Structure 1
Amino acid sequence: GWSVPEVLLSGNHAQIAKWRREQAIIRTLERRPELLDKANLNLEERRLVNRLSTSPPLPHSLGEKRIGQD
């Protein structure tokens, strides 16, 4: 199975919301990048998009590892 990101186990609701928003942006960038051009993103989210746009493509798993993988 998939490992659970530590942030989801932390109980910090603000950090969980931030993580979920980032994951949504990553998925949108992978699947429908044109939608991010007109999206209502704050400065931090724009920086995330810019950083990811100039990085090598992420695997479909969004960088998460399965349990037992190195």
Structure 2
Amino acid sequence: MDCIVSIATAQHPLDPNPKYAPKPIELSVFKAMSVGQDDPCRLHRAENERAYYNTKIYYGENPNG
């Protein structure tokens, strides 16, 4: 599913350090493999399976196939 990610390097409001000193960040993006019907992340909770089911409906796919 498409998503938008926002990354901020701003200082946390509760940080006691008076100096703003952002650190460098590194971001890696990988294409995920398809999740099988027997994948633990799908079967761990009933809510997970409903999420996969609803995502297929959202994209116009057959949720049972």
- Normalising by structure 1, report the TM-score: 0.32
More helix by share: 1
- Normalising by structure 2, report the TM-score: 0.34
Larger Rg: 2
Name the structure, 1 or 2, with higher relative contact order (CA <8 Å, separation 6+). Answer: 1
